[in-house]
Amino acid sequence: MDLPVDEWKSYILQKWSLLPKSIQVTISTAETLHDLFLHSSPLLQPEDEMFLKRLSGGYLVGKDPDASLFYREKGNQKFQAKDYMGAAVLYSKGVSHSGPSSTDISLCYANRSAALFHLGQYETCLKDIVRAQTHGYPERLQPKLLLRKAECLVTLGRPQEASQTVIDLESSFAAKPTLSASQFQILQRILCRVKVKVQEKENLPEIFPEALTKTFEGVDLREENEQIPGASSSVSLHVDPLKGRYLVATKDILPGELLVKEDAFVSVLNPGEVPLWPRGLESKWDIQVTNGDLHCHRCLRHTLAPVPCDGCSYAKYCSQECMQQAWDRYHSVECSLGALLLTLGLFCHVALRSTLLARFEDVGKVTKKLCGEMSNQGICLPESKNPAQTLKYDLGGEGDKKDKAVETPIPGCDINGKYERNYNAIFHLLPHTENHSPEHKFLCALSVSALCRQLEAAGLQAFTTDLKPTKLKAAEPPVLCAELSVWGVAMLRHMLQLQCNAQAITTIQQTGSKESLITDTRRVRLATALFPVVSLLNHSCSPNTSVSFIGTIATIRASQLIRSGQEILHCYGPHESRMGVAERRQKLRSQYFFDCDCPPCEREKQRPSAGPGRGAFRCHRCRALLQGDDVLSCSGPACMESVSRDLLVSRLQDLQRQVGAAQKHLRNGRLEVAIQLLLGCQSDAESFLSAEHSVVGEIEDALAQAYAALGDWEKSATHLQKSLQVVEVHHGPSSVEMGHELFKLAQVFFNGCAVPEALKTIQKAEKVLLVHYGPWNDEIRELQKMKSCLLDLLPIPVGPKE
């Protein structure tokens, strides 16, 4: 959730409505962010803070040993049902609630290692075994853990280490016979099996697993731009009074060329639907799986074995290294504020983290850039080595007279015209203060004020010490009181910036049954971030680039031929293939405060029938296009049929509900029921929708999934090809949506052993997906594996007999 929870929003809006008109006017007409914060902050009363505290209390982010036991028992149930993925996640929740060096955490790590072993995650399993031992795993249970370690090492092709583990285990048996006779016999049988495996492997060369991340790290720009770090030399930076900063091609750019590869300056994981504790004992701890359970809270890497923060149960990381980096840079401050930050929303969290990261910049450079621009805000303080006071100076201090303001032609650039991918660039993103409603600004100002009060109450010295915070320390309140208002102005600026400048980091998530041989995916929002270079791209409803993410790294590729001199354009969300011009322009105006005049919008304004969704309804008699506004008439030359638009819209909504019900049956494995419902939907759709309607495509795609699950590959391919036709009409033959659908069709042909058709489809899918993702995409690598397998199956041509 970007903004605070609904209860806090409603509370603040009610507070705003009760303010005297004079105070509303003062806040509404504040000329600077400093004035806005100065006039709003004192209005936050103790009763307001108490209300917010009660709201925050609904989020359980602290450690709770009872929760650890609860999750371990729930994980054991999943493990016994052979749901090892579900078990691993629940054991991870147990780990998060356990204190360090406790029996609870050691048992959760050990149990998770067993689930990971069954999932084939042997390297990760070994790490969990070490963690269990480090945290004091009970000695009486050690034999089981060592046997699992030996089996992992054998499977990974490390026989010498496995052999040593077996020797250690046998020594343990001899020295401390703590097991019962039956337990000893069971372990002896397993040990014998492991020893046989070790002997089989000992004569083989040792195999070391490849690092999972090295592939993407090797993907770099062909030639980096000297003016814009992280951008290709094929683009240049320009500025315009109306358009602001933007990128232009300096030469012809081919589809698929990498234009930007940039790590986020700041990112915060989207927690998903984190449930509030309803104060009921049975539902105190949830077993719902969210993004926060499956991704590192620093680098966003997917992980089944997260390492928890020692101080809270919410923050989790893919490794000890990520945890330490997060703690040093921002989590040492955020740790005690987890419930409050969940209540105040992602934008407030990103705003806080941005200011915390500013402490690690070369603040002298930032000072010179910002002192001249922001001096009219009246926050003029002398230079100081104190990071908080330096930020004051950045926000508008005149500082020492010898440091004169340096004006640069393009905001965010240094004195040499080089764009800085740092806090200076983030600061120069426009907050659009004049466009936000007074109520919204008041909500943001009081939310930031509440956060500052909590920082002050906690006595966090992270703002006022050197740039290497390690632990939370008490500070003198008088020092913080004077300086937190400065941080408050900075956070308020960032919070207002985010509506127009936040970039959603997305990932492709598999949906449907785990057992399905055909991949069904959806794009989900993983995090909210700020990217200095990506933010330079302007919007188009038909962009010439494609954006994808791996962790916190954004890559932008040309999705079509871009001629020299053309602007590099990105879609902010409203795309011409998904909505009509009126809806697109309304969304862009309400969120980004501009009227879109890109070519598709101008074209559709002149020809309204050209937009998507036009021509969606067809005459049930002659199948010709229905035209009109409230009453639609058949366009057929000899047909006089007419019908109410409201009636057709109602039929469409009913049809969508039926399709949704069928898809639910499909997900739950009730295939025959799903197929019957979908065939009925298909027949109904044909009576009043065009063959290219998006709902028709949904029905055909679902039928393809159902027949694939039954192993009827021929029918599956037939329906998927119809779905492809709809996707092509809506998104184009070279779209990323087309690539995903071609990938599914390749899977269908592959599983149906239709070798020529599969190879042809694989080639098409590769060509499209390479443009949007580059060679290291999971689907592309899967396509390459399928192609290799199929080529091995092809018969070797035999020449004619002589």
**What CATH number should be reported for the domain holding residue 740?**
1.25.40
Give, rounded to a whole angstrom, the gap between the first and last alpha carbons of the chain: 75
Task: Report whether pLDDT(389) > 50.
Answer: no
Range of the domain at 652: 613-706
- What average pLDDT does range 718-727 have in this prediction? 93
Tens-place pLDDT, residues 668-696: 889 999 999 999 999 999 988 888 888 99
Domain-located, residue 135: yes
Token duo for residue 582:
């009126």
Query: Quick check: 317 and 306 in contact, CB under 8 A?
Result: yes
Say how far apart CA 682 and CA 623 lie, in whole Å: 15
Domain-located, residue 636: yes
Domain-located, residue 714: no
One domain, residues 85 and 137: yes
One domain, residues 361 and 490: yes
Domain-located, residue 654: yes
Identify the pLDDT of residue 477.
33
Tens-place pLDDT, residues 633-647: 888 888 888 888 888
Instruction: Please report the beta strands in 370-502, taking only residues with DSSP state E, as ranges in sequence order.
Output: none
Domain-located, residue 427: yes
One domain, residues 366 and 489: yes
Among candidate residues 541, 509, 512, the one with its CA nearest the CA of residue 525: 509
- What average pLDDT does range 35-58 have in this prediction? 93
Question: Considering 688, 706, 724, which residue would you say is the last residue of a domain?
Answer: 706
One domain, residues 87 and 188: yes
CB-based contacts of 100, cutoff 8 Å, min separation 6:
135, 310
Token duo for residue 126:
């070994």
Average pLDDT, the chain: 82
The helices-and-strands tally (H runs, E runs) of the chain is 31, 15
Identify the pLDDT of residue 580.
83
For the beta carbon of residue 672, count every other beta carbon within 10 angstroms.
10
One domain, residues 27 and 153: no
Enter the pTM of the model: 0.83
Which range has the worst mean pLDDT, 179-183, 268-272, 572-576?
Answer: 179-183
Question: Considering 180, 202, 224, which residue would you say is the last residue of a domain?
Answer: 202
Tens-place pLDDT, residues 550-580: 899 999 999 999 999 999 999 998 888 878 8
Length of the chain: 802
One domain, residues 36 and 98: no
One domain, residues 682 and 766: no
- What average pLDDT does range 233-245 have in this prediction? 89
Domain-located, residue 330: yes
CB-based contacts of 193, cutoff 8 Å, min separation 6:
none
One domain, residues 654 and 772: no
- What average pLDDT does range 609-620 have in this prediction? 61
One domain, residues 139 and 77: yes
Among candidate residues 608, 631, 624, the one with its CA nearest the CA of residue 691: 624
CB-based contacts of 736, cutoff 8 Å, min separation 6:
546, 559, 768, 769, 772, 773
- What average pLDDT does range 490-498 have in this prediction? 94
- Residue 228 burial (10 A CB sphere; 0-12, 13-18, 19+): buried
Domain-located, residue 747: yes
DSSP annotation of 689 reads B
Identify the pLDDT of residue 628.
80
Q: 567 by DSSP, 3-state: which? A: strand
The rounded percent of the chain whose pLDDT value lies above 90 is: 51
Task: Report the CATH number at residue 123.
Answer: 1.25.40.10
Domain-located, residue 420: yes
One domain, residues 640 and 673: yes
Counted domains in the chain: 5
One domain, residues 620 and 607: no
Query: Quick check: 398 and 375 in contact, CB under 8 A?
Result: yes
- What average pLDDT does range 448-456 have in this prediction? 92
Higher pLDDT, 365 or 148: 148
DSSP annotation of 538 reads E
Token duo for residue 194:
């492991």
One domain, residues 47 and 108: no
Identify the pLDDT of residue 474.
38
Query: Quick check: 478 and 521 in contact, CB under 8 A?
Result: no
Question: Considering 501, 532, 562, which residue would you say is the last residue of a domain?
Answer: 501
Strand partners, 554: 262, 549
